[in-house]
Amino acid sequence: MPTQYRRKGRVVSCQECGKGYHDRHDIPRVANTCNICGGHTFVRREDDADAEHMVNVRLENYRNRTMGVITYYKATNGLVTRLDATRSISEVGDTVAETIKRIGR
């Protein structure tokens, strides 16, 4: 399940410039080297310790608040589109942009 897959990753930041990375979805282009400043020291972000709790809170909010909106839009005008968000950030961004262009009015 994609949600559980994303939960397992770790979030770190470059100690020099603060650029954040995810160990599965946003990794440095060169291993252990920051894309921005070339730094080699990464620290676990403070919020990572609470990440699983926060993900659970966000998922609960999604179920309680967003699902109803999705159901409404599916039923009324067909503007809801599914996409594979397990791909890279740039691939997902491209798909979102293409989808908006395709359904734009």
Interacting residues with Zn ion (CB under 5 A): 14, 16-17, 19, 34, 36-37, 39
Residue (of 76, 78, 96) closest to 87 by Cα position: 96
Nearer to Zn ion, 41 or 71 (CB): 41
Our CB check for Zn ion shows the closer of 17 and 79 to be 17
What CA–CA distances, in Å, run from 63 to 66, 69, 91, 96?
A: 6, 10, 25, 22
CB nearer to Zn ion: give 43 or 83.
43
CA distance 42 to 76: 47
How near is the Cβ of 89 to Zn ion at its closest, in Å?
Answer: 18
